Amino acid sequence: MSGFVTVARLSDVPENTLLPIEANGVKLVLARSGGRVHALHDQCSHEEFPLSDGELDGNQVTCLLHGARFDLETGAARALPAVKPVRVYECRVAGDEIQVNLD
Ligand code: FES
């Protein structure tokens, strides 16, 4: 069974921006970069701090609190002090709708 739900419109997330959303009780950050949209759990793996308050730089998001960086594609930590990945959710665009698989 597919767990894709519509979480935002594509026009809500201009290129090179982050958008915090909540879908079915899950806090996510949508990140649009290079024409693609990614969905990650909206919490740094270092401490409890929202990645949506951070900065987008190419295919990485930087946590504002201590500077950890995460790969948008895989969620892997790319810079200390974070060492653990953040969860990445499958994301697709259908027309003007951004849909995320919350399974
Ligand atoms: S809370 Fe994100 S780097 Fe420390």
Between CA 75 and CA 14 the distance in angstroms is 21
Q: Ligand 1, closest atom to CA 66?
A: 3
pLDDT tens across 30-72, in order?
999 999 999 999 999 999 999 999 999 999 999 999 999 999 9
Domain that holds residue 24: 4-101
Q: Tell me how far CA of residue 17 lies from CA of 1, 24, 39, 55, 83, in angstroms.
A: 31, 22, 12, 8, 24
What amino acid is encoded at 39 in this protein? A
Number of domains in the chain: 1
Pick from 62, 63, 64 the residue to mutate for probing ligand 1's pocket: most ligand atoms within 8 Å of its CB.
63
What amino acid is encoded at 49 in this protein? F
What is the CATH number for 48?
A: 2.102.10.10
Global confidence as pTM: 0.95
String of DSSP letters for 32-60: EETTEEEEEESS-SSSS--GGGSEEETTE
Which pLDDT belongs to residue 2? 62
Ligand 1 contacts (CB < 6 A) are 44, 46-47, 49, 63, 65-68, 81-82
> Could you give the percent of the chain with pLDDT greater than 70?
98
